Amino acid sequence: MKRISLAAVGLLLAITAAYADAPKEPEAQTWSWTGPFGHFDPVQLQRGYQVYKEVCSACHSMHLLAFRNLGDPGGPEFSEAQVKALAATVQVPDLDDKGEPTTRPGTPADRFPSPFPNEKAARAANGGAVPPDQSVIIKAREGGPDYVYALLLGYAEPPADMKAKMMPGMNYNAFFANGQIAMPPPLTTDGQVTYAEGQPAATKAQMAKDVVAFLSWAAEPKMQERKTLGIKVMIFLFVLSLLLYFAYKNLWRDIDH
């Protein structure tokens, strides 16, 4: 009886009924940080930061990150001097001596500045849509890194049945809900960002991978520490369970139970 019921549940779960207008499923990619031993590649994160800085930060904010985070272990791991230099290239809002708003070069303590002073300005500059903050975007989207990667490279000409439905100013992307996204394709050409000597070629796919890696770190800077500690904790708990099990067995040896 139980077996039949379980089989019925399995059958139910296996039945798929596809939505007519569901977005396309992103393809599964391999990322260096998946799995219990996953780790970020600091060099990839540095390239990713470069892509983020040169392409994305023109429209997107990332207000939960500060420049000092770029030097934290488990992340891009820029040196202290590099962090100071990177911060100094960016202008952050501040007040002058008279209390008037002005800008000054950033310091490691400053948060990443927003490209727009407020939401209204962001909407006005982007056709009515506000570019979402990127701090936790990877965790805020189903499919996470696979989805963002597919989205960045998923821009194409709308198919025949979508052409009539496209609203003015929208771009077609099969991975986005309803296929119409306000963001224009951010990665348009290979070599859009010039990587340093010795780095892989800056193809669109490579830039997308690198920026997704950076965004994944930005969403969860403690991921590596979490997994490292996790392995140690699991080993400890496993040994503890073993010890407790044998102690229990020994204690109950002579009891009929």
Residues at the interface with other proteins (CB under 8 A)? 1-2, 5-6, 8-9, 12-13, 15, 17, 36, 64, 69, 132, 135-136, 139-142, 144, 177, 219-222, 225-227, 229-231, 233-234, 237-238, 240-241, 244-245, 247-248, 251-257
| DSSP-derived secondary structure letter, 154 | -
Least distance between other proteins and beta carbon 65 (Å): 8
For other proteins, which is the closer residue by CB, 105 or 117?
117
For other proteins, which is the closer residue by CB, 166 or 247?
247
For other proteins, which is the closer residue by CB, 58 or 237?
237
Distance CA(86)–CA(80), nearest Å, equals 10
Residue 129's contacts (CB-CB under 8 Å, 6 or more residues apart) are: 123, 182, 183
Least distance between other proteins and beta carbon 6 (Å): 7
Give the position of tokens 């596809």: 18
Least distance between other proteins and beta carbon 199 (Å): 28
For other proteins, which is the closer residue by CB, 54 or 220?
220
For other proteins, which is the closer residue by CB, 169 or 230?
230
Least distance between other proteins and beta carbon 12 (Å): 7
Question: From the CB of residue 178, how many other CB atoms can be counted at a distance below 10 Å?
Answer: 13
Q: Give which of 101, 74, 69 is closest to 86, Cα–Cα.
A: 69
For other proteins, which is the closer residue by CB, 121 or 140?
140
Distance CA(154)–CA(35), nearest Å, equals 26
- Secondary structure in 3-state letters for 104-128: EECCCCCECCCCCCCHHHHHHHCCC
Q: Give which of 67, 178, 84, 61 is closest to 130, Cα–Cα.
A: 61
Least distance between other proteins and beta carbon 221 (Å): 6
**∠ CA(126), CA(136), CA(49), 5° rounding?**
75
Q: Are 32 and 74 in contact (CB under 8 A)?
A: no
Give the position of tokens 């791991």: 77
Least distance between other proteins and beta carbon 171 (Å): 20
R_g over Cα of the chain: 24
For other proteins, which is the closer residue by CB, 1 or 164?
1
Least distance between other proteins and beta carbon 210 (Å): 22
Q: Are 140 and 64 in contact (CB under 8 A)?
A: no
